[in-house]
Chain A
Amino acid sequence: MTGRAMRDPQARYRVQRWTALSYTSTAGAVALITALIFVPAVLGTTITQQLTSLLILVILAVMWNALAGYGGLISVGQQAYIGLGAYGAIYLNQQGVPPYLAMVLAALAAGVIALPVSLLVLRLRGGQFAIGTWVVAEVFALLVVLDQSLGGGTGISLTTLDVYSPSDRQAYTYWLTLGCTVLLLAAVFFLLRSRLGASLRAIRDDEDAAASVGVPVMRAKRVLFVLAACGCGAAGALTLANTLFIETQSVFGVQWSAYMIFIVLVGGLGTFEGPILGAIAFYLIQNQFADYGAWYLVGQGATAIAFALFLPRGLWGTVEGRFHLSLLPVGYRLRPAAAEFPPIQGQVKDPAGARHG
């Protein structure tokens, strides 16, 4: 008998979190991120700006997916925090905080503001929660419009960024965006692997049952809500730096929610990799079809509907389900303990035939 079996003679299975594929993918992801750092130096300002926009979309998608895919909270009001992040950065900057620091602080402030909001909206479920978040977004937008120092309804820009040359500014913005993206992805990743992540899965499966066995439902949802607010706040602040000029209509607009829903539905709701792939797909489609104006948006809405009805797991979710792939180790598998069984190639399905993760 091996040492492990002696410690726990009942152990017939062990929990495995990393597979060969996930080791490879994680290494690949690290390599990719490292490579991305050099983009401004190697690929020029235009590409840097495009990548910045793409990464902002990734942040938004990952945040919305965290809320809806892991928490079952369908929010159509995340634009509240996007706007808060952008206008918060303006406000802090006006108080003398250097622009990039102002953006980081604004993102954190968005999270702080989300805390009391969560006390209000998390009581609601389903459609009521959805519209509740939308109302909150409208309130924030209206409050900002009332403040003349923030440009009223006509828009404002972060003029202090002018001290940097355009290419420098774009590079700094890009690096900050890349940093935020990696940070938020890491946050979601570790959240999923943690105890809270298991709680979230339980909540997603059956909220009342989870509550009855002691899962801290409200706390789990609140963590997600605040995290999503921070992330969306960061996205808003970074959008400000990326496009320089914002106005309430666009930064507090509900079209952000439309984008997020589209990206996550197409990419794969509830998967880790889905939102990233969805954001890339969305960005490419956007560049191709934006000239078609309203027809493009009609197509976008229709596609979201089609995916919701016919391909609910999204592109990645369907692939993942079909091939039992998971690039990153957010799930786990049961494997027989080595002492009693010979090594088995590939993965072992649990008796119910479902894959955990």
Chain B
Amino acid sequence: MLIKMKLNRRVNNLAPSGIRKFFDLVLGMKEVISLGVGEPDFVTPWKIREKAIFALEEGYTSYTSNKGLLSLRRALSRFLKRKYNLVYNPEKEILITAGVSEGLDLACRVLLEERERAIVSYPAYVAYPAVVSLAGGEILPLFCSDKDNFQIDLGQLEKLLVQKPKLIILNYPNNPTGISFTRSQLRELWSLLRRSDIYIVSDEIYDLISYDFPHTPFASLRGAKKHTIYLGGFSKNFAMTGFRLGFACGPEEIISAMTKIHSFTMLCAPIVSQIAASEALVSETEAHLMVREYRRRRDFIVKSLNELGLTTPMPQGAFYCFSSIKAARMESLEFASRLLYQKKVAVVPGEAFGAEYKNFVRISFASPLEELKTAISRIKDFLAAANKSR
């Protein structure tokens, strides 16, 4: 029998995920075609890996400054200027973190007081509600609906703003929907947000993986920079998930507060990863090649899913689509479990991203086209059998 430990209340209250069991099931099963993965299927481009090997050979095995190697922060600052015309001072306004995950946690911890509110748009990546709760904040959910193509409902947002939230977490291109915002959509959003005193924590980890229009960082909107904590990273753009490296850019005061926590809890991001990342910033060629491949897969899978009656809005970025399973007439956990058992195809149940999304599953297309094809034909058989048995 488990002895009841006296653990921290906030940790205890973190929703134990029913999804976890399903995940364990998938992880324990062999020869599954997985469309449930949240990372690229590409291995990190060789020139980046080679740089990491070289760093080790040269004996780069020490700590770096808390904020990260100045050379990397400078390179990043130049990259953001070149790419987005965004100007961040590499010495004061950039912090290198262990992935966006850490940056997100730090941002919530430095901004939120006990009971202060944070708007989280749903369906949401699982970490958002968790880091808000851990920081003692309260979540104001902003629900996006398939009827609006998972875009933000400004009317609903306006009502939430009345409750004086301290911050809003944005994520675009979005996990799990793949939906992103054009510059003019962002302007509209900002013109509403700027009327209240609110910080924008913008998770733009998938920025380079944008298909239909160029990505616009929130901080690049006129007047938005000093209210925005811009989180980005290397994991998805350069297929470097295991390097655990991201960055946070923002106003000096916020970045130094984040650095304070970071210096006690993380000290610094791993030096080998930092050196490898500086190589990633040299050229985007490999990133572009990967994006082109994702785009082909997206076109393939979205078309196929819609043909099967699983209505799927066209993702504009990232490598996920969020498909309605209403046609299958079962809830997402059941759908995912049965699909796994009967056809050995893994997808993530929509309820992992919010209890309201039991009619959806997240399908990742970060797998080779051949695998996607096999998966689609298995899903087709699965749906046919499910319909027959009714």
Partners in one complex: no
Q: Which residues in A have some Cβ–Cβ distance to B below 8 Å?
A: none
Q: Which residues in B have some Cβ–Cβ distance to A below 8 Å?
A: none
